[in-house]
């Protein structure tokens, strides 16, 4: 086995994945640098979600290798991969999956409470993240009293509140109105950068990938040509990186 480069928080080589014999990834290799926001773009069905699931240990590539912080993920047991996901990764889906019985802040605090964070600290942290995502007024409401956009902002707060090493965001602004999309995505990327959280963002949308440091394209389960983001600077003035082939 070839060891991954030290500065890649995630590194994957030769990823293949098929659903019942139908290929979704056919030999994708990718490195994700620590602290970067990497956009994975490509048309519907290109394999973006499957790639994020392989990188996050939800799916096991067959064959293929995934390394996190220079340690192999693809050889871990299911339980060890679940623990890794719980402790080091966050996931934002294209639709918010909140626990209906819990209030907004309880949903946002859930990963912290599961980790054993003190109740008071978990609540305080969750409330701060809800404020940052402009849903502070939803803290005491149950999901069924909220709009889809409010629920999605809570799901984003939940993913960030636990300050994971990597957040995987699979078309996270899909349920939002166009006017909300850029603002929520900017909040997500700015917050992630200020907390040194790496983001792998699957998106169909050019506006979203413009907020990333780097962009890679999938076409039919393979890497297409990468598009360097010409002048992607965020509020902190971070410069764009070029694509690694
Ligand atoms: N659970 C599944 N069972 C069978 N086929 C699947 C499943 N999930 C994805 N696929 C197929 O695998 C291929 C890649 O899908 P994937 O969802 O990874 O692509 P995507 O780029 O994320 O697409 P989208 O933008 O539509 O979400 C597609 O052909 C899709 O139909």
- What would the DSSP string read from start to end of the chain? -PPPPTTEEEEEEEEEEEETTEEEEEEEEEEEETT-EEEEE-STTSSHHHHHHHHTTSS--SS-EEEETTEESTTS-HHHHHHHHHHHEEEE-SS----TTS-HHHHHHHHHHHTT--HHHHHHHHHHHHHHTT-GGGTTS-GGGS-HHHHHHHHHHHHHHT--SEEEEESTTTTS-HHHHHHHHHHHHHHHHHTT-EEEEEES-HHHHTTSSEEEEEETTEE------TT---TT-PPP-PPP-
**What's 8-223's CATH class?**
alpha beta
> 42 Cβ partners below 8 Å, 6+ apart?
48, 204, 217, 218, 219, 224
Pocket test for ligand 1, best of 21, 42, 49 (most atoms within 8 A of CB): 49
Distances (CA, A) of 201 to 21, 40, 126: 27, 6, 22
Q: Looking at residue 183, what is its pLDDT?
A: 81
Look at ligand 1, atom 3, and give the residue with the nearest C-alpha: 19
How far is Cα 38 from Cα 212, in angstroms, rounded to an integer? 6
Task: Report the separation in Å between the CA atom of 86 and the middle of ligand 1, taken as the mean of its atom positions.
Answer: 24
Quote the CA–CA distance of 55 and 53 in Å, as a whole number: 6
CA distances from 112 to 86, 116, 125, 164, 199 (A): 10, 6, 9, 10, 19
Q: Is the CB of 44 under 6 A from ligand 1?
A: yes
168 lines ligand 1 (CB under 6 A): no
Mean pLDDT of the chain: 87
Q: Given the CA of residue 51, which atom of ligand 1 is nearest to it?
A: 18
pTM of the model: 0.88
- Give 225's pLDDT tier (boundaries 50, 70, 90): low
Q: In the chain, where are the structural domains located?
A: 8-223
What is the reported pLDDT for 7? Answer: 75
Structure confidence at residue 209 (pLDDT): 80
pLDDT digits (tens, 9 = 90+) for 49-88: 999 999 999 999 999 999 999 899 999 999 999 999 999 9
**Contact (CB, 8 A) for 182 and 153:** no
pLDDT at 235 over 50: no
Task: Confirm or reject: Cβ of 228 under 6 Å from ligand 1.
Answer: no
Q: Report whether pLDDT(231) > 70.
A: no
Condensed to tens digits (0 to 9), the pLDDT of residues 117-173 reads: 999 999 999 999 999 988 999 999 999 999 988 999 999 999 999 989 999 999 998
Q: Is 48 in the pocket of ligand 1 (CB under 6 A)?
A: yes
């Amino acid at each position: 086995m070839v060891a991954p480069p030290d500065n890649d928080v995630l590194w994957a080589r030769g990823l293949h994945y098929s659903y019942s014999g139908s290929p979704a990834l056919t030999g994708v290799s990718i490195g994700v640098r620590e602290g970067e926001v990497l956009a994975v773009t490509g048309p519907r069905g290109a394999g973006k979600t499957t790639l994020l699931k392989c990188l996050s240990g939800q799916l096991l590539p067959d064959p293929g290798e995934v390394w996190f912080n220079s340690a192999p993920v693809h050889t871990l047991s299911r339980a060890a991969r679940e623990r890794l996901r719980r402790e080091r990764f966050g996931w934002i889906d294209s639709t918010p999956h909140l626990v209906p019985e819990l209030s907004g802040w309880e949903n946002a605090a859930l990963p912290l409470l599961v980790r054993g964070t003190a109740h008071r600290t978990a609540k305080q942290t969750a409330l701060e993240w809800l404020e940052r995502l402009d849903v502070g007024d939803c803290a005491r409401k149950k999901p069924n009293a909220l709009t889809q956009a409010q629920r999605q902002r809570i799901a984003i707060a939940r993913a960030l509140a636990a300050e994971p090493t990597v957040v995987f965001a699979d078309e996270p602004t899909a349920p939002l109105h166009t006017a909300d999309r850029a603002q929520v995505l900017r909040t997500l990327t700015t917050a992630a950068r200020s907390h040194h959280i790496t983001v792998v963002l699957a998106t169909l949308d050019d506006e979203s990938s413009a907020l990333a440091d780097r962009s890679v394209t999938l076409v039919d389960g393979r890497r297409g040509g990468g598009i360097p983001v010409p002048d992607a600077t965020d509020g902190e003035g971070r410069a764009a990186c070029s694509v690694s082939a």
